[in-house]
Amino acid sequence: MTTNYENIAEAVRTGEEDVVQKLVHQALDRGDSPQAILDEALISAMDEVGQLFEQEEIFLPELLVAANAMKAGVEILKPLLGEDAIKSYGTVIIGTVQGDLHDIGKSLVSMMLERGGFKIIDLGTDVSPENFIQSLKDNPETKVLGMSALLTTTMPEMKTTIEALEKAGLRDKVKVIIGGAPVTNAFAQEIAADAYAPDAVAAKNIVRQLVGEED
Ligand code: B1M
């Protein structure tokens, strides 16, 4: 990690949004790639913060300010990530499932898909099966439905949503992709999702495959 990235990571950990934004601008000004700044400074800082939280060295308030500081950095990188935003591969509806308020990973996936040529309808967090279904009805051109879950307690909502899609007669109309830290490929198969992606870049590639537009 370069010194600048260490400083960005430190500012994420301490929740200093202004400092994060200043240092991200500095890294861009000196020619660093937005993807490197995202991966090597922001995501790796958040991983570290997650570990500190797991080890009970920091608590929820610190976790929240760090998450907000990371988001402040991501906002700057957002318009710069990805190369082929002009193409349109179709519409993707995405959301974090009911009962789950984690949105950083889901927003990264949205961003990566958007920059990868998809129209994104981001329903945000705590999205009920009914809301997913209503959005599908409102946007019948949708090709893919994406669900994110970060809690083991909310993962079952993915299954509930897929069952609700079946009941509404919409399951055959869309491909379903799921992801989030506790989610696995095996779980995706178990609940009959069409795909699982471990991270945002993989999500973009897999969604392209799902709509028959792989590189
Ligand atoms: Co929460 N939290 N949290 N939290 N939090 C976890 C998930 C946890 C693992 C921490 C821990 O205890 N070790 C734990 C879950 C334990 C479990 O279920 N096994 C946990 C807990 C317990 C909780 C609360 C219950 C705490 C409490 O209140 N006692 C509470 C729940 C609130 C709720 O949702 N109802 C809570 C709250 C919060 C904050 C609000 C403080 C904050 C969220 C802020 C926000 O999102 N705006 C927060 C955070 C930040 C975390 C950790 C530290 C980091 C999550 C994150 O943003 N990671 C997390 C610990 C951890 O994961 N190490 C933790 C960075 C992000 C880039 O990664 O989201 O994994 P991730 O996304 C990746 C991939 O997973 C994938 O691509 C992304 C980018 O590469 N991906 C997809 C994600 N979605 C995808 C969808 C796809 C495809 C790929 O297709 C559609």
The reported pLDDT for the residue numbered 215 is: 52
Under 8 Å CB-to-CB from 181, ≥6 apart: which residues?
A: 105, 150
Q: List the domain boundaries for the chain.
A: 3-84, 90-210
Helix (H, G, I), strand (E, B) or coil at 100: coil
Ligand 1 atom with the shortest distance to the CA of 152:
18
Residue type, 141: E
- Domain made up of 90-210: CATH architecture: 3-Layer(aba) Sandwich (3.40)
> Which ranges in the chain belong to alpha helices (H)?
3-13, 17-29, 34-36, 44-54, 60-77, 104-115, 129-138, 156-167, 185-190, 200-210
Confidence (pTM): 0.82
The reported pLDDT for the residue numbered 1 is: 55
Please work out, in degrees rounded to the nearest 5, the angle formed at the alpha carbon of residue 40 by the alpha carbons of 85 and 61. 100
- Domain made up of 3-84: CATH architecture: Orthogonal Bundle (1.10)
Give the closest residue (by CA) to ligand 1 atom 52.
50
- Mean pLDDT of all residues in 89-102: 96
Under 8 Å CB-to-CB from 34, ≥6 apart: which residues?
A: 28, 77, 80, 81
The reported pLDDT for the residue numbered 86 is: 43
**With a 6 A CB cut-off, is 203 part of the ligand 1 pocket?**
yes
Ligand 1 atom with the shortest distance to the CA of 147:
91
Contact by Cβ (8 Å): 95, 148: yes
**With a 6 A CB cut-off, is 181 part of the ligand 1 pocket?**
yes
pLDDT, tens digit, 9 for 90 and up, residues 39-92: 899 888 887 887 887 788 988 788 878 888 988 998 899 888 765 444 578 999
**With a 6 A CB cut-off, is 100 part of the ligand 1 pocket?**
yes
